[in-house]
Amino acid sequence: MVAELDFWLSPWVLGLLGLCIGSFLNVVIHRLPRMMERQWLHDCAAQLQDDASLQNTGLSPAACAALKTQAEQLQTALEGQPRLGLAMPPSRCPQCQHQLPWYQNIPVLSWLQLRGKCASCRTPIGMRYPLVELLTGALFAALAVLMGPKPELLLWCGFVTALVALAGIDWDTTLLPDDITLPLLWAGLLAAWAGWTLPLSEALLGAVVGYLSLWTVFWLFKLLTGKEGMGYGDFKLLAALGAWLGWQMILPIVLMASIIGAVVGLVMKLRSSLREGRYVPFGPFLAGGGLVVLLAGNQRVLGWLGWA
């Protein structure tokens, strides 16, 4: 039994598993924001067709009727769209809609075999796809080396999976979906309660400190400038990181995220590649800070800061 566990939780096996999960994360990063936006439109259409809600707005009857008609048209258009989920439709080229057979979906190898282009229309396939797969595989293998073959290792692989997905989604869309941040938070607290990670008191305090620290910064910045410096998803992500890594790691994570974010933002500004509004999402750097703490270990990180 021990030999089997050593094999299945070895760096090689988990590295291969990470490559496969990384392939799925590419789907999550691409589709989940679109699924969310479609659901938001469905919700808006339903709300605008509710007579009581429209009357509560104080709009004129004519304006309410016009909005209701537009909402009905929107809902009809949305219902006519093909189903969109993480499993359906099958992976395909966004340019020519060529459906990828299984042998063109092999992590990294398929991208190399296709030379980074669609087999049908030769549209370039972004290099980020194999990079996400390689990153996830490398992180899984690194955790296996650092932690050894124990069941809790799979929990931390799940933690890493969520962070990679959140970083990719936030970088693309500046969204940190509750569908990932909240389960990650509750999973961290549950793992602590079960005795698999931190003492429960440290996990609870980490979640509270993580959330309130950025929440406080958000409101101070807004009171001083009248602008919002970050989104609520950042609060939830840092709360989740605190639940998994402990309250002592909140400041190191924020410091690392701020430094890396500032450097990346400066490079993007110099290269004139900042997006409209000249902002850089903070979530990917929070996730990166959490991964550094996880791989380095709490004691080493505290030593870097002279707190050990």
The pair of structure tokens assigned to 143 is 């955790």
Q: Kindly indicate the confidence band of residue 274, based on its pLDDT and cuts at 50, 70 and 90.
A: low
The pLDDT tens digits for 67-90 are 889 989 999 998 888 888 888 888
Q: Which pLDDT score is estimated for 146? A: 94
Q: Kindly indicate the confidence band of residue 136, based on its pLDDT and cuts at 50, 70 and 90.
A: very high
Q: Is the pLDDT of residue 291 over 80?
A: yes
**What's the mean per-residue pLDDT of the chain?**
90
* The amino acid at 23: S
Number of Cα atoms under 13 Å in the Cβ half of residue 234: 26
Q: Is the pLDDT of residue 1 over 80?
A: no
What is the arithmetic mean of pLDDT over 46-55? Answer: 86
Q: Is the pLDDT of residue 278 over 70?
A: no
Q: Which pLDDT score is estimated for 34? A: 94
DSSP string, 184-207: HHHHHHHHHHTTSSS-HHHHHHHH
How many Cβ atoms are within 10 Å of 251's Cβ, its own excluded? 14
Q: Which pLDDT score is estimated for 246? A: 95
The pLDDT tens digits for 19-42 are 999 999 999 999 999 999 999 999
Between CA 294 and CA 157 the distance in angstroms is 11
Between CA 300 and CA 308 the distance in angstroms is 8
- The residue among 29, 27, 23 whose CA lies nearest residue 166 is 29
The answer to whether the beta carbons of residues 151 and 144 sit under 8 Å apart is no
Least confident of 69-73, 121-125, 195-199: 121-125
| Beta bridge mates, 111 | none
- The residue among 162, 26, 14 whose CA lies nearest residue 107 is 26
Q: Is the pLDDT of residue 97 over 80?
A: no
DSSP string, 143-161: HHHHH-S-THHHHHHHHHH
The pLDDT tens digits for 100-115 are 787 878 889 888 888 8
- The residue among 195, 284, 192, 288 whose CA lies nearest residue 245 is 192
Q: Taking the chain, what is the end-to-end CA distance rounded to the nearest angstrom?
A: 38
The pair of structure tokens assigned to 227 is 């602008």
**pLDDT > 70 fraction of the chain, expressed in percent and rounded:** 97
Between CA 164 and CA 161 the distance in angstroms is 5
Bigger pLDDT: 279 or 148?
A: 148
What is the arithmetic mean of pLDDT over 150-158? Answer: 94
Between CA 236 and CA 217 the distance in angstroms is 14
Q: Kindly indicate the confidence band of residue 94, based on its pLDDT and cuts at 50, 70 and 90.
A: confident
- Residue 275 to residues 33, 46, 228, 278, Cα–Cα distance (Å): 18, 32, 17, 6
Between CA 122 and CA 117 the distance in angstroms is 5
The pLDDT tens digits for 171-190 are 999 999 999 999 999 999 99
* The amino acid at 306: G
Between CA 269 and CA 97 the distance in angstroms is 35
